[in-house]
Chain A
Amino acid sequence: MKTSRIELDTLFLFIVAAGVGIALAMYSGHRTVSQNRITLPAVEKPNSKSFLIPSSVASKPRTVSQISPDGTKLLSMTTTTNADFSNTYNVMASNADGSNKQMIYSGRDSVVSHGSLSIPFNTWSPDDKYVFITLASGSATQALAMRADGQPLGDASPYTNVATVFAANGPDSTYQETTGWASDNLLIINTKTPSGSKGPSYWLELPDNSLIQLSTQF
């Protein structure tokens, strides 16, 4: 009689434990494999019209700009295509309202070394003291960092070519891109290894141009 009672108790606990275990496992599993899908609103698009692009070589100056993250400064670049197909770039920093305009870079590319200069989204340093612009040429993109007040950097040069500094001082990995600013004077550099995989990330500290290898890849 006593044995039978023990067997019944054992069986009952066995079933309860198995039930709880399976239920919890199912709940836990449900949480880890679940996937939600939500549909975004269908965006209302304005009526679009197509335009013919004029074929004349010399064009009106084209201006693009990027406001600083705090909304107080503006970096603008005016591009003019010349009669010989070259482009002239004028990069200016100013207050957000356009006042206190300061020319900080001016350059002209030729047909032979044609590149594309642009202002990246993260161009401004957090304290608005530095900016960097990018120059895409072929498959490579260089970054030129400079002071936003038009003054030369510490070594009296008007700007720092990040890729050149990296090539001169960097280790085995190859410069790939400059993504933005880690802090007021630290540019974030991503690299790739000789095998083509993602390499370590670096900080380039301005105005000293010192490189700091990071343990984290950005």
Chain B
Amino acid sequence: MPKKLSNQKKPRPANSRKKKNVLIPFKKLIFFGFTVLSFFVFTNSVLSLYIANSSCANDGSCKSDLSLSIDNSAVGMFEGKKILPPKISQANASLPQVLGDNVAPGEKHIFVDLSTQTLTAYQGSVLVLKTLVATGKWNRTPTGNFHIWEKLVSTRMKGGEGADAYDLPNVPYVMYFHNDFGLHGAYWHDNFGHPMSHGCVNMRQIDAKALYAWADGPVGNTPGTEVSICDQITGSGQCIQNNPIQK
């Protein structure tokens, strides 16, 4: 008959020390999981910020050249077709203002409604221009509230690959509002009122010319004319922006 050992100390197994710390690998596993998750979320956030704030409308020219460019001998290309660009003169940079010339001074604000492909420009509470435009078809036109940061009477825009490659010299009356996303004249198509751009706001040259003469670029610490890109402008005059670029 074996002797009852209830009041005696149990003999200590040789591997008891390891059993006591069995939670450490488990915690390490959780820690590893959270580290991976954190890394994933961090990378996702960084990429989102990068895409939102550093993306290009024209991937061939947005990093290399956002400057004045006039080349009256160049031939353009769009949708696989050769295009003759308009002749541009440096004198076009100082145009007489026709919009709002009889309107009391007031804050200038440009709105673009992506749902109706319509641009409206206000001086104070007076509507000075309303016209059809062509926004992003191949890249999304970013929504948000911006200011014109650069005005160029002409520049060259390049991008795309293969059959979608385009090279457009003498793009007239450019008003950049976010990276290389800008309002500008488009001489290579006439399909306004329908998305037809790589992210910019394409305008008829005649409209872009008038808007260019009216809108202000930045002067010293004063920002340029405000540009609001809206997913939709409601009947009550509300500009709705989903997932806007945060400055």
Number of A interface residues in the complex (CB < 8 A):
50
Indicate if A17 sits at the interface (CB-CB under 8 A).
Answer: yes
Q: Do B34 and A21 have beta carbons less than 8 Å apart? A: yes
Check A40–B122 contact: CB distance below 8 A: yes
Confirm or deny: A106 has a beta carbon within 8 angstroms of a beta carbon on chain B: no
Query: In the complex, how many angstroms separate the beta carbon of A198 from the nearest chain B beta carbon?
Result: 13
CB of B37 within 8 A of CB of A69, answer no
Assess the B239–A126 pair: CB atoms within 8 A.
no
Query: A41-B125, A179-B191, A184-B81 are contacts. A32–B132 as well, Cβ < 8 Å?
Result: no
Residues B205 and A122 in contact, CB atoms below 8 Å apart: no
Q: How many A-B contacts at CB < 8 Å in the complex?
A: 162
Q: Does A154 interact with chain B (Cβ within 8 Å)?
A: no
A70 to B21, CA, bound (A): 80
Report whether over half of chain A's contact residues are helix, strand or loop; otherwise say mixed: mixed
**Is residue B14 contacting chain A, with contact meaning CB distance below 8 A?**
no
- Interface residue total, chain B, C-beta cutoff 8 A: 62
Binding site for B on A (CB under 8 A): 3, 6-7, 10-11, 13-14, 17-18, 20-21, 24-25, 27-28, 31-44, 67-71, 121-122, 124-127, 179-184, 186, 188, 216, 218
The list of the 7 closest CB pairs from A to B, nearest first, reads A180-B191, A71-B206, A21-B38, A69-B204, A40-B237, A36-B241, A41-B125
Seen from chain B, the residues whose Cβ lies within 8 Å of a Cβ on chain A are 21, 24, 27-28, 30-31, 34-35, 37-38, 41-42, 44-45, 48, 52, 78-79, 81, 83-84, 86, 109, 111, 120, 122, 124-127, 132, 137, 143-145, 186-196, 204-206, 209, 228, 230, 233, 237-244, 246
